[in-house]
Structure 1
Amino acid sequence: MSSSQPTKPITQNAFDAILPKAMSKKAQSVGVTKANTPWPTALILAMTAGGFIGLGFIFYIVVTTGTSELPFGITKLLGGVVFSLGLILVGICGGDLFTSSVLTVVAKASKKITWQQLFNNWTVVYLGNFIGAMLLVLLVLMAQQYWLANGAVGLNYLSTASNKLNYDFSQAVALGILCNFMVCLAVWMTFSARSVVDKVVVIVPPISMFVACGFEHCIANMFLIPLAIFIKDIAPAEFWLQIGFTANDFAHLTWSNFAIDNLIPVTLGNIIGGGLFVGLTYWLVYLREEPIGSSKA
């Protein structure tokens, strides 16, 4: 005579992705954690993230150097895929990146943190990202990495940075919005992940897309444009002879132009694209007290 075994309840498979509402709650929890992180810890994590994004840009520049014979789209796709390394390092190794920290607006909208906590976190992370990026700039200059490929890598740094100072204010803001819309979607999708592989897989496509399309990321530019300014100012005469240009050809690569024509408008756009178009949008759908479409009995 056989005895029947009790039926176990069906639970979510460990490899199933976390669903959107739970992702929103996770984003809220992450925002609370970030806002309550002691500032020395947040600063170090931000410095790390600034360096990681710079490493992604180094990879991008090296891979896209000498690809003029390839179709435009293929070159940009290759560059975007390798640039994804930066956000992968941030997501897997740990780091506070300003462009994803704007998602703390979810925690603020849910009244889990104060405005002061939010702005304090943004300030520390932004400063830390800049310090980390500048430390990497120093290392690249000391290594004279811009001499690679007979100076072609250095020319790519200069040309890419130069192009980023040719926007008007509204264009730079729009490019910043589009960029961080994609970056924060990538980060948001990692909230559904249950493994390292999951995180890598969801990060690469949106990051590749924003890079290939020429959208603007303020932290990446904190590395690239200062590096190009320093190359213009300190590269020896032999470098300019090698690449066939002069420092005067890049005279508009200045700190003031960097701040006014790129960093300020792109930062504003990044805040809007990530905080409003991603964070607050999903907060409205999943976390506000009366969800859209609900009705009281």
Structure 2
Amino acid sequence: MTPPASRPAPVAPAPPAIPDPLIPQPPALAAAVEGAFLAKALKPRGEMFLLSMAAGAMIGLGFILFITSQQGLAGGDFPVGLGKVIGGFVFSVGLWLVVITGADLFTGTTLTVMPLLSRRLGVAPFLTHWCISLLGNLIGAVALAVLVLLAGTHASNGGAWGLVVLNSSLAKVSYPWFQAFMLAILANMCVCLGLWAATSGKTTFDKLVGVAGPLTLFVATGFEHSVANMFMLPMGLLVKYGAGDAFWQGKAVEAAGKTVEDYAALTVGSVVWDNFIPVILGNIVGGALVIGAFFWLSYRRSALAAERG
């Protein structure tokens, strides 16, 4: 009788690879950013759309925290600059969530101009990605705004929460068209630099720090971000037209002396023409040209020329 064959000894799993603690050098980081956005542009369209909706909602979540932080600051008892910096910092949670989850944010998607310039991405998938990302962001942001209204958050603290939304929304549709366009260029410079810095991060904390600085800068200074506005401006319209008498009779709203007539300039038309259009165009210029094309020319063009002989 032959003895049973002995079983092989179990093999211990290999330990996880230790990430390189060093930040990539700028040329390598530019290549990493290009590769990351190429991968986003080549995802299946259904997955791309779902991730775009998620990004719109996550930026909206950041704006919810911003609104919450600004309640009661208009009275003048708190330093204006410090209040804005606090609001900007807490808003950065939205982009941090986008980075950690791999969601698809249109303003970051403008960086797909880099693989386009490198001829690694065709014009058709490039434009398709932009359109899907923009539409998905809008749907996700508006859906979140509807949920917030149904939850009654706008009526918090005697209507103080909704009052921040209305005042912010009115300010956003009151900019001259060219000023909104220029503010949007500056905003997406900051957002894309935040994503660039986050790409260099080796840990979750690194990525948060990379995002927080540029995001705090743009929000505190009042630059204009199209996807953030896709939440804030529909939220403002929902509060204006759907909050009901209970909101307008809230303690904070009455103390501020505000009525629905004070927001007559906040309409669907003003949201689209005076904000969405110039801000989307400005974000494209700030992300695709000022950051994406600039750093492609700075680092990628010469590297590709060397690779191709």
TM-score (norm. length: structure 2)? 0.88
1:14: Cα distance to partner? Answer: 2.0
Aligned equivalents of 1:249, 1:76: Cα separation in 2: 24
Cα deviation for residue 290 of structure 1 reads 7.2
1:121 alignment counterpart = 129
Select the residue among 122, 130, 137 that pairs with 2:138.
130
Of the structure 1 ranges 250-259 and 83-92, higher mean CA displacement relative to structure 2 is found in 250-259
| Residues 127-169 of structure 1, C-alpha deviations (whole Å, 9 max, x = no match) | 0000100110111011010111110111110001100011111
The answer to whether the Cα contact below 8 Å between 1:18 and 1:193 also exists between their aligned partners in 2 is: no
Which position in structure 1 is the counterpart of 2:33?
Answer: 27
SS of residue in 1 equivalent to 2:173 = coil
User: For the residues of structure 1 that align with 2:163 and 2:38, how far apart are their CA atoms?
Assistant: 43
Aligned to 1:7: none
Is the 8 Å Cα contact of residues 146 and 238 (structure 2) preserved in structure 1? no
Match of 2:11 in 1: none
Do residues 152 (structure 1) and 160 (structure 2) align? yes
Q: Give the superposition deviation at 1:241.
A: 2.0
Does the 8 Å contact 1:107/1:113 carry over to 2? yes
- The equivalent residue for 1:222 is 230
| 1:283 is aligned to 2:296 | yes
The answer (yes or no) to whether the contact 1:165–1:257 under 8 Å persists in 2 is yes
- 1:251 matches 2:259: no
Which of 1 and 2 has greater Rg?
Answer: 2
TM-score, normalization by structure 1: 0.92
Q: Secondary structure, in 3 states, of the residue corresponding to 2:73?
A: coil
Sequence identity, in percent?
40
Question: In structure 2, which of residues 276, 280, 298 is the aligned counterpart of residue 263 of structure 1?
Answer: 276
Q: Say whether residues 1:176 and 2:189 are aligned partners.
A: no
* Runs of at least 5 residues in structure 1 that lack an aligned partner in the other structure: 1-12
Q: Specify every segment of 5 or more residues in structure 2 that has no aligned partner in the other structure, as ranges.
A: 1-18
How far is the alpha carbon of 1:106 from its aligned partner?
0.3
The alignment's C-alpha RMSD in Å is 1.6
Which residue, 24, 30, 53 being the options, matches 1:47? 53
Matched, 1:162 2:175: no
Partner AA of 2:158 in structure 1: N
Q: Say if 2:116 and 2:122, in contact at 8 Å, map to a contact too.
A: yes
Per-residue deviation, residues 225-269 of structure 1 (Å, max 9, x unmatched)? 011101111112121122122211111111111010000000000
Cα distance in structure 2, aligned partners of 1:189 and 1:152: 35
CA distance in 2, matches of 1:54, 1:32: 25
Report if aligned partners of 2:149, 2:243 keep a CA contact under 8 Å in 1: no
Structure 2 contact 184–283 (Cα < 8 Å) conserved: yes
1:180-259 paired onto structure 2 within 5 Å: 180-242=188-250, 243-244=253-254, 245-259=258-272
Is the CA contact 2:51–2:102 (under 8 Å) kept in the aligned structure 1? yes
Structure 2 residue aligned with 1:9: none
Determine if contact 1:90/1:96 at 8 Å carries over to the other structure.
yes
Q: Counterpart of 1:6?
A: none
Supply the distance in 2 between the matched residues of 1:156 and 1:276 (Cα, whole angstroms). Answer: 33
* Separation in structure 2 between the aligned mates of residue 14 and residue 106 of structure 1, nearest angstrom: 25
Amino acid aligned to 1:30: A
Say whether the 8 Å CA contact 1:20–1:192 is kept in structure 2.
no
Partner of residue 17 from structure 1, selected from 23, 27, 49? 23
Give, in whole Å, the separation in 2 of the partners of 1:186 and 1:77: 16
Amino acid at match of 2:93: L
Asked if the contact 1:187/1:203 (under 8 Å) is kept, the reply is yes
- Displacement after TM superposition at 1:91 (Å): 0.4
